Chains A and B, each alone.
Chain A
Amino acid sequence: MSIRIYADTDILLQEGYSEYEIDTDRDLEVTFRGAGVCDAFIRVVRCGKLRIRTFAEAGAVISYLFWNSTEEVLNVDESHEVLGDAAVTVAYGECNSAPTERKTYVALRQQGASAKVASASLVNAKKTYNIKVANLAPHTYGDMENYAVVLKGGKLMIDAVGKIVNGAYKSESHQTSRALCFDEGQSSQILPELLIDENDVQASHAMSIGRMDEDQLYYMMSRGLNVQQCTSLISTGYLMPITETLQNEDLRSALRNEMERKISELCSM
């Protein structure tokens, strides 16, 4: 059973798995708070400007999966506050055909806080992500993983910033972005940034934008698959690993099922 959200709401997450559906034509502000082990699946069906705020209390282990199934442009502004020793995962499934403009800010506020931001995108519209993870205290850990398959007509822009402030020693900031392009007439831009004001830290970024080349496509087609079937197989293989970032099995299978459905739908177009 999913809980429908259609007005500004302050939600106290229950332990375990819960589902929410955002469905309104108005602007919306939603706040999630959690203290224990919580997994939330949030499906966005329809919304005006969306503002999401989350608070992870000290020691909490919380995963959010935001599945975008809007048919019109979605504009989201998110901030995630992570307190001492809390671990937060924020995952995005962006496989719809409408544009998205997303701003994500993660604040690792207190010692021991950790956060992972992960996105899987099947892009055939304009998708712009601005993700910033800030290590504001010592011994904090931030990680971003963005995987995208860019189809015809897709336009992907990822600006991923890892920031470690002065004094946040023994902290880590990592990020990986991968995009795979299929067709002419699409564009992908990924800007990885690391802003580091502390010496005693670890940081890394990995980025790749690849292209499905003629020979690979020919090889697969020579076994009887048409272009759409090849695209679908490769997209599945490329995006599915993102589901591994979710610990909770319900959440993971929700993402897997939704992605399989969308990939076969989009790739057969």
Chain B
Amino acid sequence: MKSLIIKDLHVSVEDKEILKGVDLTINENEVHALMGPNGNGKSTLLAAIMGHPKYTVTQGSITYDGRDVLAMPVDERSKAGIFLAMQYPQEIPGVTNSDFLRAAMNVRRETPVSLFTFIRQMEKTIKDLQMKEDLAHRFLNEGFSGGEKKRNEIVQMEMLKPSFSMLDEIDSGLDVDAMHIVADAVNNLRRETGMSLIIVSHYDRFFELIVPQFTHVLVDGRIVMEGDADLAIRVDREGYDWIYRELNIQPAAKEEASRKVTSLGVCAVNQKARSQAK
């Protein structure tokens, strides 16, 4: 069984520690929801697993299928079956979607995919995600709307068939219909391949479409609470304040935000009164 195992992970960006000891295990076929207020390390965790050069792992380990992920360059991680559907997909002018995907498919195969097979699969995927038919010939994400970029991430996922995928706020920027299209594509792929998932989302609507078995809440670089799908739904309805109160903790970003607000004088009084009333 292919498992992703994260132990005591510490990650820094430009000498600022963002993750302060994360432990997480994700087995085949599992869906994990990763929640938490903005700026508390969700995207950092996913980027560290994928290997973004800006994120430095200072302590801890990540293994996938028994292999040391941290020792692999980004492209090797991808070939090992790890996929990150990004929050902000890059635009690559001059490189068409089809050239890019064919190259990406070929690097994980012994023999190159035949043009016929590729075109058939591309056409099916474009239809599944209800993208425009000229997608294959357009430059990678160039001039795409926010929603198109997000759906194109799922196009890539469906074509590359990873065994472990991370969706970083893939539902933001999607309308309700598009959210259903994306969720269907993800669920179909899960049924087909047994792919495991980490999903970062702020909305329980997405978690109703792709139901997680596990929910983790990341606050100030640590997983502070774990539960099942109900936890994701409760967080969506009630926010995080009850967690801070229950555990007597403070989120990372909120400290900075409140500092900014107090400097505004008049509004600060109002703000302070409100926060005391809570």
Contact flags A210-252 to B (C-beta < 8 A → 1, else 0): 0000111011111111100100011011101100000000000
A233 and B90 contact, CB distance less than 8 A = no
Within the complex, the shortest CB–CB distance from B46 to chain A, in Å, comes to 11
CB atoms of A223 and B92 under 8 A apart: no
Does A216 contact B73, Cβ atoms closer than 8 Å? no
Q: Which residue in chain B gives the minimum CB-CB distance to A224?
A: B78
Q: Which of B83, B84, B90, B160 has the most chain A CB atoms closer than 10 A to its own CB?
A: B90
Q: How far is the CB of A253 from chain B (nearest CB, A)?
A: 18
- Which residues of chain B are within 8 angstroms of A221 by Cβ–Cβ distance? 73-75, 78
How many residue pairs link A and B with beta carbons under 8 A? The number is: 73
> Looking at the complex, which one of A222, A223, A237 makes contact with B94 (CB distance below 8 Å)?
A237
B104 in contact with A223 (CB, 8 Å) = yes
Q: Mark B40-78, 1 if CB is under 8 A from A, else 0.
A: 000000000011111000000000000000000111011
Interface string of B116-132 (1 = CB under 8 A from A): 00000000000000000
| Residues in B81-114 with C-beta less than 8 Å from chain A | 83-84, 86, 89-96, 99-101, 103-104, 107-108
Inter-chain contact B75/A224, CB cutoff 8 Å: yes
Contact indicator B92/A224 (Cβ below 8 Å): no
Chain A residues near B50 (CB, 8 Å)? 222
Q: B residues 113-165 with Cβ under 8 Å of A?
A: 139, 156, 160
Inter-chain contacts of B84 with A (CB < 8 A): 222
Candidates B54, B74, B75, B100; contact of A233 at CB < 8 Å: B100
Which A residues are in CB contact (< 8 Å) with B79?
224
CA distance A214 to B54 in the complex (A): 9
Q: How many residues of A contact B (CB 8 A)?
A: 20
Q: Mark B2-22, 1 if CB is under 8 A from A, else 0.
A: 000000000000000000000
CB <8 Å contact, A234 and B94:
yes
Bound Cα distance from A216 to B156, whole angstroms: 16
Main secondary structure of the interface of B (DSSP, over half): mixed
Q: Which of A223, A229, A234, A236 has the most CB of B within 10 A?
A: A223
Residues in B neighbouring A234, C-beta threshold 8 A: 92, 94-95
Cβ distance B129 to chain A, nearest Cβ, rounded Å: 16
Q: Is the CB of A219 within 8 A of B90?
A: yes
Instruction: Decide if A225 touches B75 in the complex (CB within 8 Å).
Output: yes
Q: Closest chain A residue to B50 by CB distance?
A: A222
CA–CA, A218 to B47, complex, Å?
10
Structural contact, A224 and B95, CB atoms closer than 8 A: no
Contact of B95 among A215, A222, A226, A237 (CB under 8 A): A237
Interfacial chain A residues near B101, Cβ < 8 Å? 223
Contact check: which of A214, A222, A224 meets B108 at CB < 8 Å?
Answer: A224
A219 CB to closest chain B CB, in angstroms? 4
Which of B53, B96, B103 touches A225 (beta carbons < 8 Å)? B103
A222 neighbours in B (Cβ, 8 Å)? 50-51, 74-75, 77-78, 83-84, 86
A216 to B93, CA, bound (A): 10
Residue of A nearest to B84 (CB): A222
CB neighbours of B107 from chain A (8 A):
224-226, 229
Nearest CB of chain A from residue B189's CB, rounded to whole Å: 16
A window 176-226: CB within 8 A of B: 214-216, 218-226
A236–B99 Cα gap in the complex (Å)?
10
- Rounded to whole angstroms, the CA-CA distance of A164 and B23 in the bound complex is 70
A-B contact pairs, 18 of them (CB 8 A): A216-B92, A218-B51, A218-B90, A220-B90, A221-B75, A222-B74, A222-B75, A222-B78, A222-B83, A223-B104, A224-B75, A224-B108, A225-B104, A226-B73, A226-B75, A233-B95, A234-B92, A241-B94
Closest 6 CB pairs of A and B: A237-B94, A219-B90, A224-B78, A221-B74, A223-B104, A237-B95
Q: With A222-B75, A224-B108 given, can you name 12 additional A-B contacts, CB distance below 8 Å?
A: A215-B90, A216-B92, A218-B53, A218-B90, A222-B51, A223-B78, A223-B100, A223-B160, A233-B95, A234-B95, A236-B99, A237-B95
